[in-house]
């Protein structure tokens, strides 16, 4: 599913006349999908004490309460961690998008209409140009991964909300530093189709590696550090 979904931009390059901005903007929109999926993961995670050392300690290092009370603390903590993630990741994604749209999409829309309106306008153009099918493919791919790994595979029993909150950032930073580095080079050369295809192939390769790494179960279960609480 991951490979199939990431091949759809190739259709955009060969049939919908996509250029580098359209491809990178689609990958930026994928970050929004990743963030949405992560909110679901944070909401649904219910760590198994036999697999996750989630012992909550006070500032002086003494354990707080029984296993049941610590589980209750974990679920209550979601009321803080989920909104915090939404705001922090939302700002992170917006700034990243502003950077992409301004430097690769041309400054006219951003400068004349403002950041929000300009970005919405350029996104609408991409959607009308076949981008909705590429984005839908990515949504399906991440949805299948969520059901297969997180729910059926039991990952929701091996993570806690504050750890899951940081999960998307490593992928986003590594993947998009590589994508943007290639994008600027390709843009300077006029977005030739062959180089666009190579960029997409490179993204697929990095994505597969990051996907396998994120879902590889560590020996003896996921090792999560203890959560200090004042």
pLDDT tens per residue across span 140-179: 999 999 999 999 999 999 889 999 999 999 888 888 888 8
Q: Which two tokens stand for residue 199?
A: 């960029």
| CA distances in angstroms from 73 to 7, 10, 64, 69, 128, listed in the order given | 43, 47, 10, 6, 46
The residues that bridge with 228 in the sheet, in sequence order, are 57
Q: Which ranges of the chain have pLDDT less than 70?
A: 53-68, 105-119, 122, 126, 129, 217-230
Query: What pTM, to 2 d.p., does this model score?
Result: 0.81
CA–CA distance, 196 with 23 (Å, rounded to integer): 8
Task: Write out 180-218 in H/E/C secondary structure.
Answer: HHHHHHHHHCCCCHHHHHHHHHHHHHHHHHHHHHHHCCC
Rounded-to-integer distance, Cα 66 and Cα 56, Å: 10
Please list, in sequence order, all residues whose beta carbon lies within 8 angstroms of the beta carbon of residue 109, skipping any fewer than 6 positions away. Answer: 101, 117, 118, 119, 121, 122
**Helix, strand, or coil (residue 142):** helix
pLDDT at 224: 44
Where do the structural domains in the chain lie, given as residue ranges?
2-228
Q: Residue 26 has what pLDDT? A: 87
Q: What distance in Å separates the CA atoms of residue 191 and residue 181, rounded to the nearest whole number?
A: 14
R_g of the chain, CA atoms, integer Å? 20
Question: Is residue 167 a contact partner of residue 38, using CB atoms and an 8 Å limit?
Answer: yes
């Amino acid at each position: 599913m991951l490979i199939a979904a990431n091949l759809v931009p190739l259709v955009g390059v060969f049939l919908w006349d996509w250029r580098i901005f359209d491809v990178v903007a689609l990958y930026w929109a994928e970050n929004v999908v990743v963030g949405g999926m992560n909110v679901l993961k944070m909401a649904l995670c219910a760590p198994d004490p036999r697999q996750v050392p989630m012992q909550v300690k006070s500032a002086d290092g003494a354990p707080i309460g029984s296993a049941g009370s610590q589980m209750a603390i974990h679920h209550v903590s979601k009321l803080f961690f989920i909104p915090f993630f939404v705001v922090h990741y939302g700002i992170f994604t917006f700034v990243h998008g502003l950077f992409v749209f301004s430097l690769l999409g041309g400054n006219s829309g951003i400068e004349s209409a403002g950041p929000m309106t300009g970005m919405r306008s350029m996104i609408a153009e991409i959607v009308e140009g076949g981008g909705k099918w590429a984005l839908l493919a990515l949504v399906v791919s991440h949805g299948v991964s969520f059901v297969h790994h997180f729910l059926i595979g039991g990952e929701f029993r091996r993570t806690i909300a504050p750890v899951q909150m940081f999960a998307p950032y490593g992928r986003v930073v590594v993947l998009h530093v590589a994508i943007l580095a290639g994008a600027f080079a390709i843009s300077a050369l006029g977005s030739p189709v062959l180089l666009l295809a190579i960029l997409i192939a490179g993204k697929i390769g990095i994505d597969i590696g990051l996907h396998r790494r994120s879902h590889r179960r560590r020996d003896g279960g996921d090792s999560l550090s203890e959560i200090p609480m004042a």
